[in-house]
Amino acid sequence: MGIEIEQPCVELSNVAVSETHGENSPYFAGWKAYDENPYDEFTNPSGVIQMGLAENQVSFDLIEKYLEEHPEEASTWGNGASGFRENALFQDYHGLKTFRTAMASFMEQVRGGRAKFDPQRIVLTAGATAANELLTFILANPGDALLVPTPYYPGFDRDLRWRTGVNIVPINCDSSNNFQITPEALEASYKDAEAMNFKVRGVLITNPSNPLGITIPREVLEEILDFVTRKNIHLVSDEIYSGSVFSSSEFTSVAEILEARENRNAERVHIVYSLSKDLGLPGFRVGTIYSYNDKVVTTARRMSSFTLISSQTQHLLASMLSDERFTESYMETNRERLRKRYQMIIEGLRSAGIECLNGNAGLFCWMNMSPLLEKPTREGELELWNTILLQVKLNISPGSSCHCSEPGWFRVCFANMSEHTLEIALQRIRDFMARIRTETETESA
């Protein structure tokens, strides 16, 4: 049996509790009856015959024949044509059991076995983008607010707000304490939301943080958990970079803290994960929601109809994710290569006279260019960004697009190119910095 969690009341949105999903209609109820007792000519001749689903099985043999004649195409499927039919027809939003189980065990592995994940609490979505939006639909009503620490991933402005109508109220963090989230900042942000007449529904953190590239310390996670419990709101922990920590011991997942607390108050916590960063497979569109809240799991599953993962992809990855020897060695190698890349870029930038935040995770570093700003303002930062893009020909992300309260910080990614290209980028930066130094010297001379 799975992880059982007490379910007292933290509120869900109107959309989540509405019956408009229509699943109580006979249309869907009949499917359930079939799922529970499906007819099979040999093994279950008295089972329910499915004639309530407009599915075409009359010509599958032709597709199977095609695959047998085209082994190259079949190779992305997996093993010839066997099992292809069931898979191609499979559109159950519970997802392939083998895949869900593999996902749960992979998530455990990423956390060094320090937390357990129940496959029955895993909801599959086409990417973490969809997972974050879906959770927002479920946890908040239009006009409500989620508190998000700054700086944050620019995509949140779309994912959390566009279709949901929910607002983001920033939890302001600054360089005075390495952009850590403090209890004061949490309280201040809550008050800001209240002043704007927004009902706060939850806090959404990214751990490890994008764009900072650091893991959230255990004590801070505990404080955040206490805060959301006091306010009776939700906590979404986007742990999409949990496998991209340079040293595995430095990452604490909120799941570990919940386990230490014996899952008390866990029903307000939801974890988002994806294979886009840790496994470098963003094109596959594989994301998950892991929720400790039964109602959220059920609703999220229903809503995932709008964002299902291709059954072919689930099948393809299920065996890879359950290959523990492979995943173990992959994670180790990945961490090692990320750490080396990080070293390379930090040293490269330092030799050019640029300092970064001391990072320990992620695919990027958080670079401080504030000494270079003409004016210590957003406009100054944008001018510098423009120069770097047009003259130095580097695309880096300005802190203002991440809603950073201090101008001059930039996110620089280092894992999406070859070492050679990174060398060239670093050289361009060195040349740029040298040019600036000569200009300043000429000016002051």
Partner 1 sequence: MTQTRKPAPKPEAQNPSFSTSGMKLIVPLQGVVQGRGGLLLGTLVPCALFYFLQLYLKRRRSSDATCATPPSEPALPRTSSRSNLSARAGSISRVRISRLASQISRPDDSLYYVGLDRVSIDPFHALHNPHGVIQLGLSDNKLCFDLIGEWFARSLEGSVVSTSLSINGIAPYQTFDGMMELKMALSDFMHQVMGESVKFDPSNMVLTAGATPAIEILSFCLADHGNAFLVPTPYYPGFDRDVRWRPGVDLIPVHCRSADNFNLNITALEQAYSQARKRGVKVRGILISNPSNPVGNIMTQDMLYSLLDFAEEKNIHIIADEVFAGSTYGSEKFVSIAEILDSDYIDKSRVHIIYGLSKDLSLAGFRVGVIYSFNDSVLAAAKKLSRFSSISAPTQRLVTSMLSDKRFIREYFETNRKRIRQVHDEFVDCLSKLGIKCAKSSAGMFCWADMSGLIRPYSEKGEIELWEKFLSVAKINITPGSSCHCIEPGWFRICFTTITLEEIPLVIERIRRVVESCKSSS
Q: How far is CA 338 from CA 315, 360, 415, 434, 439, in A?
A: 28, 10, 7, 28, 35
Site string for partner 1, 372-411 (x = CB under 8 A): ----------x--x---x---xxxxxx-xxx--------x
Catalytic: which of 144, 205, 233, 238? 238
Are the C-beta atoms of 108 and 117 separated by less than 8 Å? yes
Could you give the CA distance from residue 310 to residue 42 in angstroms, rounded to a whole number? 29
Residue 412 sits in the site that holds partner 1 (CB under 8 A)? yes
Minimum CB–partner distance for residue 386 and partner 1 (Å): 9
Quick one: 273 or 364, whose CB is closer to partner 1?
364
- Structural tokens at position 332: 């180790």
Instruction: State yes or no: is 241 an active-site residue.
Output: no
- Structural tokens at position 196: 């704007």
Could you give the CA distance from residue 445 to residue 430 in angstroms, rounded to a whole number? 22
Handedness of CA 26, 31, 33, 38 (dihedral sign): positive
Quick one: 60 or 108, whose CB is closer to partner 1?
60
Which range of residues in 76-84, 173-181, 182-190, 218-226 is near partner 1 by CB under 8 A?
Answer: 76-84
Q: Among 294, 257, 225, which Cα is nearest to 9's?
A: 294
Site for partner 1 in 184-213 (CB under 8 A): 210
Residue 17 sits in the site that holds partner 1 (CB under 8 A)? no
Residue 428 sits in the site that holds partner 1 (CB under 8 A)? yes
Name the packing angle between helices 294-303 and 128-139 (round to 10°): 120
- What single-letter amino acid sits at 382? L
Residue 37 sits in the site that holds partner 1 (CB under 8 A)? yes
Distance of CA 331 to the CA centre of its chain: 17
Residue 76 sits in the site that holds partner 1 (CB under 8 A)? yes
Residue 312 sits in the site that holds partner 1 (CB under 8 A)? yes
**Site size for partner 1, by CB under 8 A?**
127
- Structural tokens at position 44: 């279950």
Q: Which of 5, 200, 254, 303 binds partner 1 (CB under 8 A)?
A: 303
Quick one: 118 or 157, whose CB is closer to partner 1?
157
Residue 58 sits in the site that holds partner 1 (CB under 8 A)? yes
Quick one: 72 or 443, whose CB is closer to partner 1?
72
Q: How far is CA 124 from CA 67, 119, 127, 217, 297, in A?
A: 27, 11, 8, 28, 10
Catalytic: which of 152, 153, 241, 292? 153
Residue 89 sits in the site that holds partner 1 (CB under 8 A)? yes
- What single-letter amino acid sits at 304? S
Instruction: State yes or no: is 40 an active-site residue.
Output: no
Q: What is the DSSP letter of 117?
A: -
Instruction: State yes or no: is 277 an active-site residue.
Output: yes
Which range of residues in 75-83, 99-107, 255-263, 264-272 is near partner 1 by CB under 8 A?
Answer: 75-83
Q: Which of 101, 105, 109, 129 binds partner 1 (CB under 8 A)?
A: 129
Are the C-beta atoms of 202 and 233 separated by less than 8 Å? yes
Minimum CB–partner distance for residue 271 and partner 1 (Å): 19
Quick one: 18 or 232, whose CB is closer to partner 1?
18
* Residue 22 falls in which region: left (phi positive, over 0), alpha (psi -120 to 50) or beta: left
Q: How far is CA 221 from CA 107, 129, 270, 400, in A?
A: 19, 23, 14, 25
Residue 39 sits in the site that holds partner 1 (CB under 8 A)? yes
CA angle 405, 408, 409 (to 5 degrees): 75
Instruction: State yes or no: is 49 an active-site residue.
Output: no
Site string for partner 1, 248-277 (x = CB under 8 A): -----------------------------x
Site string for partner 1, 317-356 (x = CB under 8 A): --xx--x--x--xx--xx--xx--x---------------
Q: Which helix (H) or strand (E) holds 149?
A: strand 145-149
Quick one: 261 or 340, whose CB is closer to partner 1?
340
Residue 43 sits in the site that holds partner 1 (CB under 8 A)? no
Distance of CA 259 to the CA centre of its chain: 21
Active-site residue numbers? 153, 238, 240, 277
